[in-house]
C-alpha cells in the first residue's frame, strides 16, 4: 500500500485507506490512457510556476524534459501503472519524483486534481472528437462511392415500411450520409464551446499561484479559460453533450444497420454482402448473416446508456467538485472504444456490398408506386388535388380488380374512371418519368442527386480541414 508521501492527499490522516477503500478509489486500468493529456496539462502548468517564480528556468527545463520523456515512454508501452497508483495524476507525480527527486513534487503547487481531471477530459474529448470525425468520414466516403455508382439505379422508396414512390438508390444512401454529416457538424459546434481550459480553477476557488491561465490555455490549444472557477471543476455538461453526439451517431448507425438487414434478406434481395463482412450459421449451412449491421444496432443501445449514465450522475450534484464526476471517464472511454469497433466495420461493409440493380428496378413500380404521378398530372391541369387524389384512388382500385399495375393500363380503362384522364397521362406512368420529375433541390432526380453529391463532398472537405487545423497541446 502506498505511503502517505506517495499519495496526493494523505498528510492529514493517521493511517492509510482500508483495502476496500483503496480498491474503490483506484482508477480502472483503462483510465490511465489519459496520461498524455495529464502530461500536456502539466507542461502548461509548469510554465505557470515559472512565471510565478516557483520554479527556476533551469528547473522548468528539467521538468519539461522529464515530462516529454515520460510521454514518449508511455506511448511506446514502456510505462505501466502500479497497484499503488491511485489515478493518472498519482502515476505522473510518482514518475516525476523518481526521476527528479523533490523537484518532481514542485509541480503540484497551485493546482488540484479537480482542475487537472477536468482539463484532461477536455483535452481528450477535443483530440478524440477529430479522430471520431475522421472515422465517420471513412464511412461517408463508402456511402458516397456507392451512391455515385447507383446514381441511376431505380429503386422503390418506402414510408411506413410500405412501397411509396420510386427513387434512385444513390439518393437513399445519401440520406444516411446526410445524417452522418450532421453528426460531425455537431462535433464542430460542440468543440467551440469546449475550447476552454479549467486549469487555474484549482480545487474550486481559483489558484493563488497559477494566474496566467490564458497563456497556458494557448499552449494547450484552447481558445481561453473557463469564466468561473467553480463551474470549471464542477460541470460536465460538455461531457454529456459529447455523449449525446455519440448516442445520435449510434442511432444513425443503427438505422443504416437496420436497412442493411432488410436489404440483404431474401424478401428484399437488394444487396449481397461481401464474405469478409458477413457470417454464417453454426447449424444452417446456407445462411449468410449481416452480423455487422446487427451488432451495430446492439451497440447503439450501449451508446445511449452512456449518455443516460452521465446525466443521472450529474443531475443532483451540489457545487463544486464531487467524486461522482469520476464516472465521466467510464462513459466517454466506453463510447469511444465502442465506436472504434463499429465505424471501421460499417465502412468496410458498405464499401464492399454488391447491389442487385435488376431486382431493385423490378420492385420499383410494385405496389402502385406511380400513383402520385396521376394525381400530380391532374393537378397540373387544374383539377383540385382533393379530386385528383380521389380519382387516382379509383384508378388504383381498378388495377387491383384487374390484377395489373398502373403502367399496364390503357387509355380506354382510364376514361372509364374519369373523362379527364386523357391518354397522355400514360406518358408519366414510367419509372424514368417519375424520377426525372422530382428535379427540385434535394429531389431524387439523378441531376439533383449528383449536385447533392458535390455539395456533400465539399462539406466533408471542410470538415477534414477542421480536423487538420487542430494542433492540440504544444510539446515542451
- Tell me the catalytic residues: 160, 281
Retrieve residue 48's grid coordinates. Answer: 505557470
- Alpha carbon distance 45, 120 (integer Å): 13
327-352 vs 113-149: helix crossing angle, rounded to 10? 10
Give SS3 for 168: strand
Q: Which long-range contacts (CB under 8 A, 24 or more apart) does 75-84 make?
A: 75/36, 79/35, 81/29, 81/32, 83/26, 84/1, 84/2, 84/6
In our burial notation (b when 16+ CB lie closer than 10 A, e otherwise), range 39-58 reads: bbbbbbbbbbbbbbebbeee
Closest CA to 433 of 417, 445, 449: 445
H-helix segments, 223-317: 229-234, 237-263, 291-314
Angle at 216 between CA 210 and CA 220, to 5 degrees: 140
Please provide the size of the chain in residues.
Answer: 476
For the chain, helix (H) and strand (E) counts, in that order, are: 18, 6
CB 268 within 8 A of CB 278: no
Retrieve residue 47's grid coordinates. Answer: 510554465
Instruction: Show Cβ contacts of residue 280 under 8 Å, excluding neighbours closer than 6 positions.
Output: 287, 288, 289
Q: Strands 196-197 and 224-225, how do they pair?
A: parallel
CB 421 within 8 A of CB 414: yes
Amino acid at each position: 500500500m502506498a505511503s502517505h508521501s506517495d499519495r496526493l492527499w494523505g498528510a492529514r490522516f493517521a493511517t492509510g485507506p482500508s483495502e476496500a477503500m483503496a480498491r474503490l478509489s483506484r482508477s480502472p486500468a483503462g483510465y490511465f490512457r489519459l496520461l498524455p493529456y495529464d502530461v500536456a496539462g502539466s507542461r502548461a502548468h509548469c510554465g505557470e510556476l515559472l512565471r510565478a517564480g516557483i520554479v527556476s528556468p533551469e528547473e522548468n527545463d528539467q521538468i519539461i524534459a522529464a515530462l516529454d520523456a515520460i510521454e514518449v515512454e508511455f506511448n511506446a508501452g514502456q510505462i505501466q501503472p502500479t497497484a499503488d497508483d491511485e489515478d493518472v495524476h498519482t502515476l505522473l507525480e510518482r514518475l516525476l519524483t523518481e526521476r527528479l527527486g523533490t523537484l518532481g513534487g514542485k509541480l503540484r503547487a497551485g493546482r488540484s486534481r479537480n482542475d487537472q481531471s477536468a482539463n484532461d477530459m477536455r483535452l481528450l474529448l477535443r483530440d478524440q472528437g477529430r479522430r471520431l470525425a475522421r472515422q465517420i468520414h471513412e464511412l461517408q466516403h463508402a456511402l458516397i462511392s456507392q451512391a455515385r455508382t447507383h446514381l441511376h439505379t431505380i429503386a422503390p422508396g418506402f414510408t411506413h415500411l410500405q412501397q411509396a414512390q420510386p427513387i434512385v438508390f444513390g439518393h437513399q444512401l445519401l440520406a444516411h450520409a446526410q445524417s452522418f454529416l450532421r453528426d460531425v457538424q455537431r462535433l464542430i459546434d460542440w468543440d467551440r464551446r469546449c475550447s476552454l481550459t479549467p486549469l487555474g480553477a484549482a480545487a474550486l476557488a481559483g489558484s493563488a499561484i497559477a494566474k496566467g491561465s490564458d497563456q497556458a490555455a494557448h499552449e494547450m490549444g484552447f481558445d481561453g479559460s473557463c469564466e468561473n472557477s467553480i463551474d470549471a471543476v464542477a460541470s460536465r455538461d460538455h461531457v454529456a453533450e459529447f455523449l449525446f453526439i455519440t448516442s445520435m451517431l449510434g442511432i444513425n448507425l443503427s438505422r443504416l444497420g437496420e436497412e442493411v438487414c432488410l436489404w440483404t434478406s431474401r424478401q428484399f434481395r437488394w444487396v449481397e454482402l461481401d464474405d469478409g463482412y458477413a457470417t454464417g450459421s453454426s447449424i444452417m449451412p446456407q445462411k449468410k448473416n449481416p452480423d455487422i449491421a446487427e451488432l451495430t444496432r446492439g451497440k447503439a443501445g450501449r451508446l445511449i446508456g452512456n449518455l443516460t449514465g452521465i446525466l443521472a450522475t450529474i443531475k443532483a450534484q451540489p457545487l463544486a467538485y464531487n467524486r461522482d464526476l469520476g464516472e465521466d471517464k467510464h462513459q466517454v472511454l466506453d463510447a469511444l472504444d465502442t465506436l472504434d469497433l463499429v465505424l471501421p466495420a460499417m465502412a468496410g461493409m458498405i464499401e464492399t456490398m454488391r447491389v442487385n440493380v435488376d431486382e431493385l428496378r423490378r420492385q420499383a413500380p410494385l405496389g402502385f408506386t406511380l400513383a402520385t404521378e396521376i394525381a400530380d398530372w391532374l393537378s397540373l391541369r387544374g383539377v383540385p388535388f382533393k379530386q385528383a387524389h380521389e380519382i387516382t384512388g379509383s384508378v388504383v382500385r381498378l388495377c387491383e380488380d384487374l390484377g395489373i399495375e398502373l403502367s399496364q393500363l390503357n387509355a380506354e380503362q382510364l376514361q372509364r374512371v374519369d373523362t379527364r384522364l386523357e391518354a397522355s397521362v400514360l406518358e408519366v406512368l414510367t419509372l424514368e418519368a417519375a424520377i426525372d420529375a422530382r428535379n427540385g433541390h434535394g429531389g431524387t432526380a439523378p441531376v439533383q442527386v449528383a449536385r447533392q453529391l458535390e455539395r456533400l463532398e465539399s462539406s466533408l472537405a471542410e470538415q477534414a480541414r477542421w480536423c487538420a487545423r487542430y494542433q492540440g497541446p504544444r510539446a515542451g
